[in-house]
Structure 1
């Protein structure tokens, strides 16, 4: 493995095929929830991949049976109590979206189990997003007590239309992989046992394509996302303003209750 990735702690790397780099989010016992370390690593990894001459395609998945369990509750609580932490994470959330969008290498995501929070940003902004039929895609912002920000306002309306985006973002209803494909939220749906093989198959096909053709096709298509920049910046500001309000404390208490050790991990979070 390149020294480029040696300093990462919560992201693991392997090469499942020539010129295909697979990134695995790993936070054992917490459904790969993004703590402060992983959140920062999810921001900078796309810059490292973009600059890596050995990578033609990147893949992202979660360890075990979960893709991403949302934000680590310790980090969320710190954001409500410390302005420095809040502003750091705000900048990271903005940079995460733009770094995924601006990465010149194609990105393939493989989502199974819960897909929430910072991991979901990369999952849905990936150039080819593949979800297990039984995946549970949830934008949990309003359940926490803050406005739906980060990737939500920039990409959900483009992918599945404004009516569906409003329904799922306002209510925080879980979207199965099957339903996500039906409404256009993800590129493909696969059976759980076929998910990672399908993602690798797509990545290998992309790795054999013309690098410049893929790069500039991605660049042109992502201009739709760049044009939504002012909307994204506004939504992000409204989201993080909510962390200083009273509703987030009630949301934190509710989420903490659902993440007890005895809580059923197969239930929507």
Structure 2
């Protein structure tokens, strides 16, 4: 299955979806056309239960350079107009953040501003040595958006998030790995294959268990009794699935587990 848009490519192979940002003239900036096309892809992924994981990447040596500043400078919206525009973006962003399947970002080159924020929406961020991350909003007198106030402090802590947001400094790949922003670093030619291999792992994972892990971790920061209650409820649901029974039977019968990280080739 493949759908080609104007600013992105969307492809589904063997139950793994790949969304590629591809607008070289703007270094894959999130202009209005790209935002609308991403919204369509997110809606498709959410509704297609055969898709078991999503990879987001960028073409032409960049992930995403952020917002389209030329469009921002000329669009002429008032305060309410800007609020409405961001709330429209928040609809698909929240759908992506709460997607009950794994999302993997494969970052090469620039992930600046909203592009950095988009990468942070993923459950796992893989990057190349030439990847660069930057909360660049302060450079143009803006505050971070695309969910960064939610995602970044959960990864690096509040103090470091303040520093990265208020300094608007560049983060190289090595520091991104150290801070936990990137999970792994790979050579450019290995980046997408590795991301797709990790995504393929979840084709044989229990959809219920994956969903429950993501849903419970979304409540990170809740008090202990609340999290233990979520844990008990989630485990009770998972125990009742055919995936759990199959996995236990395979273990008892000394057969290889269906779920492998990454998937067996």
Deviation string 1:177-210 (CA, Å, 9 cap, x unpaired) is: 2211111122222233321121112111122211
Between the aligned partners of 1:47 and 1:78, the Cα distance in structure 2 is: 29
Give the corresponding residue for 2:180: 184
Between the aligned partners of 1:173 and 1:119, the Cα distance in structure 2 is: 15
TM-score, normalised to structure 1, is 0.75
Unaligned runs of 5+ in 2: 224-265
Residues 90-99 or 135-144, more deviating: 90-99
> Closer, same or farther in 2 for the Cα pair 1:129/1:97, shift >3 Å?
same
Between the aligned partners of 1:108 and 1:225, the Cα distance in structure 2 is: 23
Give the corresponding residue for 1:103: 99
TM-score, normalised to structure 2, is 0.76
Give the corresponding residue for 1:154: 150
- Of structures 1 and 2, the one scoring higher in RCO (CA 8 A, sep 6+) is 1
> Paired residue for 1:193, among 166, 189, 192?
189
Give the corresponding residue for 1:51: 47
Between the aligned partners of 2:42 and 2:114, the Cα distance in structure 1 is: 13
Unaligned runs of 5+ in 1: 228-269
CA deviation after TM superposition for structure 1 residue 21, in Å: 0.8
CA contact under 8 A between 1:43 and 1:92: conserved in structure 2?
no
Between the aligned partners of 2:85 and 2:10, the Cα distance in structure 1 is: 24
Answer with 1 or 2: which has the greater Rg: 2
Give the corresponding residue for 2:77: 82
> Paired residue for 1:41, among 37, 43, 46?
37
Between the aligned partners of 1:224 and 1:186, the Cα distance in structure 2 is: 20
> Closer, same or farther in 2 for the Cα pair 1:122/1:218, shift >3 Å?
same
> Paired residue for 1:14, among 11, 15, 29?
11
Give the corresponding residue for 1:65: 61
CA contact under 8 A between 1:134 and 1:178: conserved in structure 2?
no
Deviation string 1:230-260 (CA, Å, 9 cap, x unpaired) is: xxxxxxxxxxxxxxxxxxxxxxxxxxxxxxx
